[in-house]
Amino acid sequence: MLSSNIKGVANGFPLLIEVEKVVEKQVDFNEDFLRNLFVKIEWKALVEASRTIGYTELPENAESSMLDSDEFLRKFHHALVELHLEEGALVCPESGRKFPVNKGIPNMLLHEDEV
Amino acid sequence: MKLKQLEGLLGSLDQFENPKIELEQYPTGPHIASRLLYTAENSFGDVEDKVVADFGCGCGTLGLAAALLGAEHVIGLDIDTESLEIASSNADDLDLVMDFVRCDIRNLKWRDRIVDTVVMNPPFGTRRKGADMDFLFVALKVASQAVYSLHKTTTRDHVKRTALRDYNAVSAEVLCELRFDVPQLYKFHKKKEVDVAVDLWRNDSDDDHEDDHDEEKSKVGEGAKDEDEDEGADMEELKKE
Ligand SMILES: C[S@@+](CC[C@H](N)C(=O)[O-])C[C@H]1O[C@@H](n2cnc3c(N)ncnc32)[C@H](O)[C@@H]1O
């Protein structure tokens, strides 16, 4: 979900997710990377995003001490880097504007009047 | 991974099928792409275990080179769907994970500095003046660490001045001068290939974010030292080719 998390804030606000298809990719586990990212991402947004796509294992709240737990790290890793939104949309909660996702590539292009 | 090996793998990638003239779609050749990423990693440690963004990724050569050199996460951004799909299948062919977003770089507004390093071969601005500088402006806002970019050698002074004075770069250095073969994609090109002199730049980004501020600063210090020591070696390498 890292992508949606990043893309979600691409326009300055967290986006909601509409799911048509999710794919799982196996990615090597890197603890340092997760620790590093933990301080940079919005945990709540990740929990929300993961839930929408059907992954409910992440705890509601997280603090850095939890990074010492292997179990926590693995769940974080799975949600963050192994789950991908393949088809669906990212939706702006305020305007309802949809950014379609096809073949795993979200289209964040704005219309002229939105720039 | 050896430089030659990297260059070889990049040479196997699919490139633009119907290059769009107005978007300045010419591929970053394997020669330049491999050297850009190799220098970023071996002289500055800006790739391995980092989050790397490839601005105007086209068919993905630079971003995939970063992934091959051990980047932890790579995001490719381009305005053109066709290129992004080719890039995505290039990633699959190499068994690499790379993320893609279709967007206009000029409108990118990332809140957090999740990205460490930006690598890019921006449109040189032959179609729309200043297109490369628009990319650089946004790249310096997004990257917490460094921006590697190619610009025409004829614009060297302008790039330096603008990066330092207007874009808040901590430093802006030309690492080397390269020849860029812009293939004859377009009818108005008379010769088969147009050989353009381009500079490879490294811009140190001003990470004004609160988190790991001190750490980031000390890294910047180290990077600056490396530069003096290793630049000679890189240039040697390039001359031999
Ligand atoms: C010189 S090519 C870079 C090629 C790429 N590095 C490669 O390895 O093939 C410039 C790229 O920038 C993209 N581009 C041009 N204007 C853009 C914009 N405003 N936003 C995002 N991408 C843009 C083009 O579609 C093109 O793929």
> By CA distance, what is B99's nearest residue in A?
A3
The pair of three-digit structure tokens given for residue B140, joined into one six-digit string:
């310096």
- Domain residues for the domain of B93 are 3-238
- Which range (A100-104, B113-117, B201-205, B215-219) has the least confidence? B215-219
pLDDT-derived band of residue A16, with 50, 70 and 90 as boundaries?
A: confident
Strand order in the sheet with B99-102: B99-102, B73-78, B51-55, B117-120, B146-152, B193-204, B171-183
Number of domains chain B is built from: 1
Considering only the beta carbons, identify the residue of A12, A25, A41 that sits closest to B109: A12
Distance CA B199, CA B240 (A): 18
CB B26 near ligand 1, within 6 Å: yes
Distance from the B195 Cα atom to the nearest Cα atom in chain A, whole angstroms: 33
Q: Tell me the domains of chain A and their CATH numbers.
A: 16-103 (2.20.25.10)
User: At B177, which CATH number?
Assistant: 3.40.50.150
Residue A110 to residue B85, Cβ atoms within 8 A: no
**Residues B101, A103: C-beta atoms closer than 8 Å:** no
> How far apart are the C-alpha atoms of B123 and B130, rounded to whole Å?
9
Does the complex come out with an ipTM higher than 0.95?
no
Query: Residue B215 and residue B207: Cα distance in Å, rounded?
Result: 11
Report, as an integer, the average pLDDT of B19-48. 95
- Out of B121, B149, B196, mutate this one to test ligand 1's pocket (max ligand atoms within 8 Å of CB): namely B121
Instruction: Select from A23, A39, A38 the least CA-distant residue to A82.
Output: A23
- Reported pTM: 0.85
**A37 to chain B: nearest residue by CA?**
B114
